[in-house]
């Protein structure tokens, strides 16, 4: 069983990390579109072109299923389009429904953070209209965090300064939940928490996405202990330096990102 996982960059490693925990015996192909990151600040037509190319790349690699480990990319390709491909393609969206279902009874607001493309897109607006009847959510774009993650900076003071500035219009004492609606943001839970005096819940779509993958996977998981991962940056194999950078990101996820 071979599973393709792709993102604009290093955020999707958090989805790969989760997939490896829940489906350890699969082999993975991870594709980071480093030539075109950040997706969250590009035009939809351009993004659609990149995504189609990556899906074809994965199909050529003979994967059995594809995970779009990127909320921004998912919002560019709807379910009916995904169904045109010969293999299952699973996407992800900000976990707004889960946040409302689990925590709206706490009477605290829900902050949904994502990229500008996701925040201004119709897909997220539609989702919020559908699930947030009591108007508990606020949406905020935090493109700067994608840049920090891509530089391998997960905890500098600059991140806190950036977040404080980006969130200065919000009274953070009113919030009980933060939805991490961009896979790059999973690196920054500790930085986010520092902004709040109260403990907040963090929600992302990773586990839900992998559970969905398990539902659609063809039934051919081999009985081996641990699968392999091949990494590509925009179609190219990684240099040694890039490979060790990816490993550094994965170890960071071991520290800040746990699955239940
Ligand atoms: N990681 C991506 C997401 O989940 C997008 C980051 C970017 O390239 O802007 O939305």
Classify residue 238 by its DSSP letter: P
Q: How many angstroms is it from 233 CA to the middle of ligand 1?
A: 15
Q: How many angstroms is it from 43 CA to the middle of ligand 1?
A: 13
- Which of the listed residues 73, 91, 95, 209 should we mutate to test ligand 1's pocket, taking the one with most ligand atoms within 8 A of CB? 73
Give me 5's structure tokens.
Answer: 């996982």
Q: What number is the average pLDDT over the span 27-51? A: 97
Tell me how far apart the alpha carbons of residues 207 and 96 are, in angstroms, rounded to a whole number: 14
What is the reported pLDDT for 223?
67
What is the reported pLDDT for 222?
67
Tokens 């393709």 correspond to what residue? 4
> Residue 145 pLDDT > 80, yes or no?
yes
Q: What number is the average pLDDT over the span 28-32? A: 98
First to last CA, the chain: 24
> Residue 252 pLDDT > 80, yes or no?
yes
What is the reported pLDDT for 219?
73
* pLDDT bucket at 260, cuts 50 / 70 / 90: low
Residues touching ligand 1 (Cβ under 6 Å) are 7-9, 11, 37-40, 70-72, 115, 118, 146, 182-184
> Residue 258 pLDDT > 80, yes or no?
no
Give me 155's structure tokens.
Answer: 């905890």
What is the reported pLDDT for 226?
85
Taking only the tens place, the pLDDT of each residue in 206-237 is 999 999 999 999 776 666 678 999 999 999 99
Q: What number is the average pLDDT over the span 109-118? A: 98
Q: How many angstroms is it from 138 CA to the middle of ligand 1?
A: 19
* pLDDT bucket at 256, cuts 50 / 70 / 90: confident
Closest residue by Cα to residue 137 from 164, 165, 98, 163: 98
What is the reported pLDDT for 225?
75
What is the reported pLDDT for 255?
87
Q: What number is the average pLDDT over the span 88-94? A: 97
> Residue 72 pLDDT > 80, yes or no?
yes
Q: What number is the average pLDDT over the span 150-162? A: 97
More confident: 221 or 114: 114
Tell me how far apart the alpha carbons of residues 236 and 226 are, in angstroms, rounded to a whole number: 24
Taking only the tens place, the pLDDT of each residue in 166-201 is 999 999 999 999 999 999 999 999 999 999 999 999
- Pairing state between β 65-68 and 89-90: parallel
Tell me how far apart the alpha carbons of residues 140 and 28 are, in angstroms, rounded to a whole number: 32
């Amino acid at each position: 069983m071979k599973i393709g996982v792709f993102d604009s960059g290093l955020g999707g490693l958090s989805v790969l990390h989760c997939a490896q925990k829940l489906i350890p015996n699969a082999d993975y192909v991870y594709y980071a579109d480093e030539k075109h990151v950040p997706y969250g600040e590009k035009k939809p037509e351009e993004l659609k072109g990149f995504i189609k190319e990556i899906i074809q790349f994965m199909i050529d690699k003979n994967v059995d299923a594809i995970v779009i480990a990127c909320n921004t990319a998912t919002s560019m390709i709807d379910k009916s389009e995904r169904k045109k491909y010969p293999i299952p393609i699973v996407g992800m969206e900000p976990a707004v429904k889960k946040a409302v279902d689990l925590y709206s009874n706490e009477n605290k607001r829900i902050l949904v953070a994502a990229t500008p493309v996701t925040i201004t897109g119709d897909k997220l607006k539609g989702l919020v209209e559908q699930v947030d009847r009591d108007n508990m959510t606020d949406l905020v774009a935090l493109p700067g965090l994608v840049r920090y993650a891509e530089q391998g900076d997960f905890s500098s003071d600059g991140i806190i300064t950036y977040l404080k500035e980006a969130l200065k219009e919000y009274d953070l004492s009113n919030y009980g939940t933060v939805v991490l609606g961009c896979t790059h943001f999973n690196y920054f839970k500790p930085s986010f928490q520092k902004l709040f005096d109260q403990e907040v819940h963090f929600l992302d779509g990773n586990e839900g996405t992998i559970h969905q993958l398990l539902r659609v996977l063809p039934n051919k998981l081999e009985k081996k202990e641990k699968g392999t991962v091949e990494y590509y940056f925009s179609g190219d194999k990684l240099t040694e330096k890039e490979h060790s950078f990816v490993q550094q990101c994965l170890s960071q996820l071991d520290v800040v990102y746990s699955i239940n």
